[in-house]
Amino acid sequence: MKTYAFFPGCAYQSAAGYAESVAALNNRLAIRLKELDDWTCCGATAAFSLDEGDGLALCGRLFALAQKEGHSDIVTVCNACYTTLRKAGKRMTTDPPALAEVSRRLADQGLGLALPLPKVLHYLDLLVAEPFDRRLTGENQVEHGVGAVAVYYGCQYSRPWTTGPEAQHPTMLQRLLSGLGVDVVEHSAGTLCCGASHAVPYADACGPMIGRIVGEIRGKGGRIITTICPMCQFNLDAGQRGLGKDPLPATYFTQMIGLALGIGAADLGLNKLLIPLSTMQKKAP
Amino acid sequence: MNDPHPDDPFLAHPDCRHILRCIQCGACSGSCPLGAEMDYAPRALFALIRDGDFAGALKSNTPWYCVSCYQCMDRCPQEIPVADIMYRLKQMAVAAGCRPRIHKLPDFYRAFVEDVGRNGRMTESHVMARYSLKHPGDAAANSVTALKLLARGRLNLFPNRSRDPGHVAALTARCRKRGPDA
């Protein structure tokens, strides 16, 4: 069985049960991830906004670390890491001077880059592809009864650097959860933007973005939002103040899959949500 | 591809030369979740640049309001990398020392890269602390959330750190050196 390079990203450690639930699924589904040794920040939107060369070099370092360990893929769990790495990878692949410049800067650290660069995947991409998808159907189905779930991919996962047949209108997570017996609602806010880090300096402008997402999901009957990105989860978990009573819990997709597989809430880190899932359970018929 | 504008630091960039293909349809502006906050939504900004007011574009708040959702790029019928052009404008504004009218985001990004440059990895509480020195009001608005996160073990007070942060200090030297307040 293949072992994948795992790039957790900086927000993973303090994310609400993401690490716990990914570990639980790795264990249940026999997914082998090896944390990239000595990984560092991808730079996200910040580095690219200030200096392109630095932004490319930060990503280049991660590709080089993966190549040093012989990996052909890097698995991420964050939309920003995923998009930043994919974008930088495409640039370095198609712009030889950019690749040469990054290589020169990495040579000082004893690292090297060679084309083709490792492929960047989201953990979700792993779960919906063979062989793991086959372990997520059939007899695994368990009653969980937590209420209708709305899938929220966030903006960056489905945008220009993604690939595959569902690039711009992803539905794979809805199908995966439905297959596990989860009650999934359809809605049109699945790839809207949550405001990301703009929610800190421009809170007033970003508040309506959260309101639009939550309002659409609530209107279509969703009672739980499930996300695939620490930034989205945080903004939806912490940003529903001022939107009225009964905020909708914002979970990670790995937590919902774990619940559907019968893994306990504590083992999925669900106690770390700001908006507790338990309040919704009480209201479920 | 041959570069038709080798001496123009904006048009010579592989993303930015595509602006010449813009047909001013406005799909980008209509797609932008923060377009209403911008001095010029993307379509108008591109018109401004093509009219020759590049300085006005650099000083505008537009690129700093771009939240990198990339919806404009998905929808542009001319396949112009709109959000990446915004990145280029941010880089050039910072390099030129332009202070946009609204300049909180550059401060946030500076706080972010300072933390990464020091520790190799980013720690939310440290970025917020650094940013709060300049914008204490935003920190106060988030203080209740911070306490709740702390209670749930979601606020790292100690920094995330890579084995040898010096490697990343070197790779972030340019973005830490150049900035609106540098």
Residue B127 in this model has a pLDDT that exceeds 90: yes
Instruction: Tell me, yes or no, whether B80 and B111 share the same domain.
Output: no
Instruction: Tell me, yes or no, whether A209 and A255 share the same domain.
Output: yes
In CATH, what number is assigned to the domain containing residue A71? 1.20.1050.140
> Is residue B58 assigned to a domain?
yes
In CATH, what number is assigned to the domain containing residue B27? 1.10.1060.10
Instruction: Tell me, yes or no, whether A145 and A278 share the same domain.
Output: yes
Instruction: Tell me, yes or no, whether A11 and A64 share the same domain.
Output: yes
Instruction: Tell me, yes or no, whether A172 and A57 share the same domain.
Output: no
Instruction: Tell me, yes or no, whether B88 and B158 share the same domain.
Output: no
Residue A75 pLDDT grade (very low, low, confident, very high; cuts 50, 70, 90): very high
Question: What's the whole-number mean pLDDT along residues A103-127?
Answer: 96
> Is residue A133 assigned to a domain?
no
Least confident span in A134-143, A272-281, B78-87, B111-120: A134-143
Instruction: Tell me, yes or no, whether B83 and B135 share the same domain.
Output: no
pLDDT of residue A249: 96
> Is residue B85 assigned to a domain?
yes
Helix (H) or strand (E) holding A121: strand A119-122
Domain count, chain B: 2
Instruction: Tell me, yes or no, whether B66 and B109 share the same domain.
Output: no
Q: Range of A246's domain? A: 141-283
Query: Residues in chain A, how many?
Result: 285
Q: Whole-model pTM?
A: 0.94
pLDDT of residue A279: 42
Domain count, chain A: 2
Contacts of B156 in chain A (CB under 8 A): 13-14
Q: Most A CBs within 10 Å: which of B68, B130, B155, B177, as the mutation test of the A interface?
A: B68
Instruction: Tell me, yes or no, whether B136 and B157 share the same domain.
Output: yes
Contacts of B10 in chain A (CB under 8 A): none
Instruction: Tell me, yes or no, whether A167 and A226 share the same domain.
Output: yes
Residue A280 pLDDT grade (very low, low, confident, very high; cuts 50, 70, 90): very low
SS3 sequence of chain B: CCCCCCCCCCCCCCCHHHHHHCCCCCHHHHHCCCHHHCCCCHHHHHHHHHCCCHHHHHHCCHHHHCCCCCHHHHHCCCCCCHHHHHHHHHHHHHHCCCCCCCCHHHHHHHHHHHHHHHHECCCHHHHHHHHHCCCHHHHHHCHHHHHHHHHCCCCCCCCCECCCHHHHHHHCHHHHHCCCCC
Instruction: Tell me, yes or no, whether B88 and B117 share the same domain.
Output: no
Instruction: Tell me, yes or no, whether B119 and B77 share the same domain.
Output: no
Residue A285 in this model has a pLDDT that exceeds 70: no
> Is residue B11 assigned to a domain?
no
pLDDT tens across A190-245, in order?
Answer: 999 999 999 999 999 999 999 999 999 999 999 999 999 999 999 999 999 878 77
Residues 168-207 of A with CB under 8 A from B: 168, 192-193, 195-198, 200-203, 205-206
Instruction: Tell me, yes or no, whether A198 and A273 share the same domain.
Output: yes
pLDDT of residue A142: 58
Place of tokens 């060369």: A53
- What is the DSSP code (8-state) at residue A39? -
Question: What's the whole-number mean pLDDT along residues A259-281?
Answer: 85
pLDDT tens across A90-102, in order?
Answer: 999 999 999 999 9
Residue B60 pLDDT grade (very low, low, confident, very high; cuts 50, 70, 90): very high
CB A84 within 8 A of CB A60: no
Q: Which two tokens stand for residue A2?
A: 């293949």
> Is residue A44 assigned to a domain?
yes
In CATH, what number is assigned to the domain containing residue A259? 3.40.50.11810
pLDDT tens across A156-168, in order?
Answer: 999 887 877 787 7
Instruction: Tell me, yes or no, whether A116 and A145 share the same domain.
Output: no
Question: What's the whole-number mean pLDDT along residues A11-19?
Answer: 94
Residue A131 CB contacts under 8 Å (≥ 6 apart), including other chains:
none
Instruction: Tell me, yes or no, whether A245 and A177 share the same domain.
Output: yes
Tell if the CB–CB gap between B160 and A156 is shorter than 8 Å. no
Instruction: Tell me, yes or no, whether A155 and A271 share the same domain.
Output: yes
Tell if the CB–CB gap between A274 and B70 is shorter than 8 Å. no
Instruction: Tell me, yes or no, whether B89 and B36 share the same domain.
Output: yes
> Is residue A13 assigned to a domain?
yes
Residue A34 in this model has a pLDDT that exceeds 90: yes
pLDDT of residue B2: 53
Q: Range of B172's domain? A: 104-177
Q: Which two tokens stand for residue A279?
A: 């309040």
For residue A200, the distance in angstroms to the closest alpha carbon of chain B comes to 7
Query: What is the sign, positive or negative, of the torsion defined by CA atoms of A12, A13, A17, A20?
Result: positive
Least confident span in A88-97, A175-184, B5-14, B36-45: B5-14
> Is residue B4 assigned to a domain?
no
Instruction: Tell me, yes or no, whether B22 and B91 share the same domain.
Output: yes
Residue B141 pLDDT grade (very low, low, confident, very high; cuts 50, 70, 90): confident
**Strand bridging mode A32-35 / A184-185:** unpaired
Instruction: Tell me, yes or no, whether B55 and B126 share the same domain.
Output: no
Question: What's the whole-number mean pLDDT along residues A176-189?
Answer: 93
Q: How far apart are CA A237 and CA A222, in angstroms?
A: 15
Residue A25 pLDDT grade (very low, low, confident, very high; cuts 50, 70, 90): very high
